[in-house]
Structure 1
Amino acid sequence: MNKFSHIDLTVNSWEQVRPFYENLLHALGFTRTFHSEKWKVFAAEGDLPSVPYFAITEDPDHKPNENLIGFWAHDRAEVDRIAELVKQYGGTIISGPRLFPISPTYYAVYFQDPCGNKYEMVHRLD
């Protein structure tokens, strides 16, 4: 059983990151939205609260840190597609996409959103 429930994320400016998250989260399967004035919620298919969701709130004083959120990719092509999407919608590639010496099949891209929150998209077989 996957115990993942949700991520609550803070950004400096929703308007600054809106295109980035609308496109990235949709590509990752968070296709349903439940937005309020304070929270922008992107959920996977199914009934809340039993499906994973990604909730974003805004704080102009937010300072990103070294935390990193990782996502699984179905294959290397998906890692490459996400890397292109990141660049297209204002994110920054930190490293990759490429093989990393974590394991012989560890193919990943490390990136950040327009506010500096850090992510990884990874495909590996071992």
Structure 2
Amino acid sequence: MFDHVTLGVSDFQKARGFYNRVMPALGLPLLWENSTMLTYGAGNEVFGLQLDGASPRRGTHVAFRARDRESVNLFHSEALAAGGIDAGAPGIRPEYHESYYAAFINDPDGNRIEAVFHDTKK
């Protein structure tokens, strides 16, 4: 069901120090990082932390696994029809990887939700 979950942080270095100790205790090592993101996990399930600019993200980010590109497209159109706010139309996100097909929505409470299909057939 879930591809990944991301929480916002207000102090990136403090969060890094904390989670670099806590997550390995659960068998979830640091998989990758950049200047604003940390990702921990095992296999295809990951947990992330992100700093957006100088302030923490509002709400939680949850990415749901989709069956195919059509499901991602349907998720996006249905979410908009139900009152969601577009936060990224369906498409390839090469900044994550070359087959990452996703769409992003802010729900009525401001939570960030995503549908993602890891399209390996390209």
**Between structures 1 and 2, the one with greater strand share:** 2
* Normalised TM-score (structure 1): 0.47
